[in-house]
Amino acid sequence: MNRLYFFRKRISYRLTNNRTKKIAVITALLAIFPLLLAFGVETIERGTFGDAADWIAANPSLFAMNALIYCFALLLLYGLIGSLFPAVGCTALLLFLAALISHYKTKMIGEPFFPWDILLKKEGANIIPLVTNQTVLVRVSVVAAVVLSLFLLRLFLPRFRMPVVSRIVMVLLAAAALQNLAERTPAAQRLYDRAGVNEVVWNQKDNYGYNGFGLAFTLNIQNSIISKPPGYGEASIATVAQQISDRRNASTVTPKEDQPNVIFIMNEAFWDPTLLPDVTFSEDPIPTVRRLQEESTSGYLLSPQFGGGTSNVEFEVLTGNSMSFLPSGSIPYQQYIRQPVPSLASYFQNIGYKSMGIHSYDGWFWNRDSVYKWLGFESFKSKEKFDDPEYKGTFISDNEVSRSIISAVEESSRPMFIYAVTMQNHGSYDDGRYEENPIQVQGNLTDEARNLLETYTHGVRDADQSLQMLIDHFEQSGEPTVIVFYGDHLPMLGLDYEVYKQGGFIGTQAWSLEEQKKMHSVPFVMWSNFELPQDEVPTMSNSFLGAYVLDKLEMELPANFEFNLDLFKQYPGLLTGLIVDADQNLYNTVPDSAKSVIDPYRELQYDILFGVRYLAQYLDADYLSGSALADYNMEFDAPTAVAAPAEEEEESI
């Protein structure tokens, strides 16, 4: 230790007594470290040294832009901390951690790490059980060792402290530079243009792959700001309002006298695994759904998500709005819903129903306990409100959710709108959650892939049985009821879509438009204990499901859902990077022929979520400008709720 001490003192003395040398050393280190950080980040993000080196060789100017961003980040922390090597260590820790998250998030669900992912709080911790294999632990250990080494350099080399005034100036300049790059000021845009930056907004995986992690992440900061559509204004919304009024006047629908219970069940990761062409199953895991596909209205919903992001599917179904008009990877429940937003819940509440959300997981997850209030629900039964529930594996069982639905309907004196979200079949599927899997699969699968698929299939089987439980009950109840059952997204079956590849569902190269459609299509079925016309729907975006169901029930549609129904008939599928027309033709961008109907949809969505709500000046003012219920969730949260009369407020289940 004495030798180390005198070695460091000797270097410090020489540098202190030669200011020019000291400045030169600091400048050299500040030039070298960002380059090393950029190389390290790209190695982690891309997976190998070779892939990172190939990208750098092909895109030296983009690599330099990433290094420049990291340089400003390092200068910012250097100014805040006041010592160079701890600042380098902290910068490396933050960047390498973000790159690791991005690498595995991309492998799991096809989306990298976005600026707004920082808002996920505890939701982000749910990724940890999915990435605990040996390869991941080795990568994390290597990153930890590198970061620790950077901190330990402080023991061997001088501390390069700065005067306070210099630190303040450095922080201000670095922060200003990062702000300009994020806001894309004219000077920053010129710099981007010279570097050959090409932002691929509609495909963020390609965006990060082409531009590099730091640059793509910085570009997305600006994307988190929702810009007003070019044509948006009172005049454009007035035109839309007139179109909606004309459709209503031309309608010949006669509303039903009875108000049926309307139950939406969004079953976690529900999909039909028998669609894997190279895999066979010892028995059909979804006989109930299979029967309804033959006897009732059924089809496929085009989910905006894969493997996660359940709340975005809820957002589309409940509000009728489309994720395709929002930044890729954004989460409306976390970012945008901070005031009342019209939804199916508020619509049903306004016409005499009781609107209730049921989710067998924590109420804070995706901020539901707050968002459901803004969406107009009267009550929300989250995991905390279940009384001694049945568990299957880690999570509350699907059967328990079905029992909660039955109890809620039986205890209500009003017809019910219920939006139920299950949790039992949530990934990961390598946890051995069941003692045995009753359905065996055969195919050219690795043992790991087979175990994943059998565990997932067990959950699908249980989901199907929970649906049959509801059907059995409401067939006997005599109370008119319709059930809409569907999955939120396809399951994440192994890193890098391994089960889908081994099962022959997709190829190993970049997805075609047809493969994109397959990887976002989940089955839906409708059942009712009264007569409804039967339809087969090949494709329907989640944002159109609410309008479709209301129309099937011959209920008067609120204004924005009325617009959606007309758009659905022309362009039933609408995702970022995938548009499906009525003839099932596929496009990766909005075709010119569709802009005249899709652009007003974008403007209408902006008006409701971020704009003035001009539409409320013309139509459905009570629905579009409603407020949250003052007694939201009183039946579960109020200490006197249990003692309240049944007609006024239902008892906690």
Fill in the amino acid letter for 63: F
**DSSP E strand stretches across 411-495:** 416-421, 441-443, 481-487
The tokens describing 330, both together, are 């954004």
Are 138 and 166 found together in one domain? yes
Are 528 and 589 found together in one domain? yes
pLDDT category of residue 643 using cuts at 50, 70 and 90: very low
Are 215 and 287 found together in one domain? no
Contact 328, 204 (CB under 8 A): yes
Question: How many Å apart are CA 368 and CA 307, to the nearest integer?
Answer: 19
Q: Which of 351, 353, 259, 357 is nearest to 315 (CA)?
A: 357
Contact 383, 400 (CB under 8 A): no
Contact 492, 314 (CB under 8 A): no
Residue 414 has pLDDT above 70, yes or no: yes
Domain annotation covers residue 651 = no
Are 180 and 60 found together in one domain? yes
CA angle at 245 for the pair 241 and 246, rounded to the nearest 5°:
120
Domain extent, residue 60, equals 2-223
Are 72 and 110 found together in one domain? yes
The domain boundary residue, chosen from 223, 248, 282: 223
What pLDDT is recorded for position 303? 97
pLDDT tens profile 285-343: 999 999 999 999 999 999 999 988 899 999 999 999 999 999 877 889 878 898 999 99
Domain annotation covers residue 260 = yes
Domain annotation covers residue 646 = no
What pLDDT is recorded for position 645? 40
Contact 396, 386 (CB under 8 A): yes
Between 30-44, 89-103, 246-260, 495-509, the lowest mean confidence (pLDDT) is in 246-260
The domain boundary residue, chosen from 175, 193, 223: 223
Contact 244, 559 (CB under 8 A): yes
Domain annotation covers residue 576 = yes
Contact 59, 208 (CB under 8 A): no
Question: How many Å apart are CA 302 and CA 543, to the nearest integer?
Answer: 9
Domain annotation covers residue 644 = no
Question: How many Å apart are CA 393 and CA 424, to the nearest integer?
Answer: 7
Domain count, the chain: 2
Are 245 and 215 found together in one domain? no
In which order are the strands placed within the sheet that holds 573-575? 573-575, 578-580, 586-587
**Residue 487 bridge partners (DSSP):** 267
Are 310 and 201 found together in one domain? no
Contact 630, 637 (CB under 8 A): no
Are 253 and 213 found together in one domain? no
Going from the C-alpha of 379 to that of each of 1, 334, 339, 389, the distances in angstroms are: 65, 20, 17, 19
Which residues does 338 contact at the CB level (< 8 Å), separation at least 6? 374
DSSP 383: G
Residue 106 has pLDDT above 90, yes or no: no
Question: How many Å apart are CA 439 and CA 457, to the nearest integer?
Answer: 7
Q: Which of 289, 288, 284 is nearest to 439 (CA)?
A: 284
The tokens describing 289, both together, are 């759904």
Q: What's 560's domain CATH number? A: 3.40.720.10
Are 196 and 274 found together in one domain? no
Are 210 and 159 found together in one domain? yes
Residue 624 has pLDDT above 50, yes or no: yes
Domain annotation covers residue 640 = no
Looking up tokens 């059980």, which residue turns up? 129
What pLDDT is recorded for position 653? 26
Contact 130, 220 (CB under 8 A): no
Question: How many Å apart are CA 617 and CA 608, to the nearest integer?
Answer: 12
Three-state DSSP string of 172-237: HHHHHHHHHHHHCCHHHHHHHHHHCCCCCCCCHHHHHHHHCHHHHHHHHHHHCCCCCCCCCCHHHH
The domain boundary residue, chosen from 223, 243, 271: 223
Alpha helix stretches (DSSP H) within 356-397:
368-374
Domain annotation covers residue 647 = no
Are 191 and 308 found together in one domain? no
Bond preceding residue 428 cis, omega within 30 of 0: yes
Are 94 and 140 found together in one domain? yes
Domain annotation covers residue 337 = yes
More confident residue, 579 or 196: 579
Q: pTM above the 0.85 mark?
A: no
pLDDT tens profile 393-406: 889 999 999 999 99
Q: Is residue 524 classed as helix, strand or coil in its secondary structure?
A: strand
Q: Is residue 102 classed as helix, strand or coil in its secondary structure?
A: helix
**Mean confidence (pLDDT) of the chain:** 87
Residue 15 has pLDDT above 60, yes or no: no
More confident residue, 86 or 55: 55
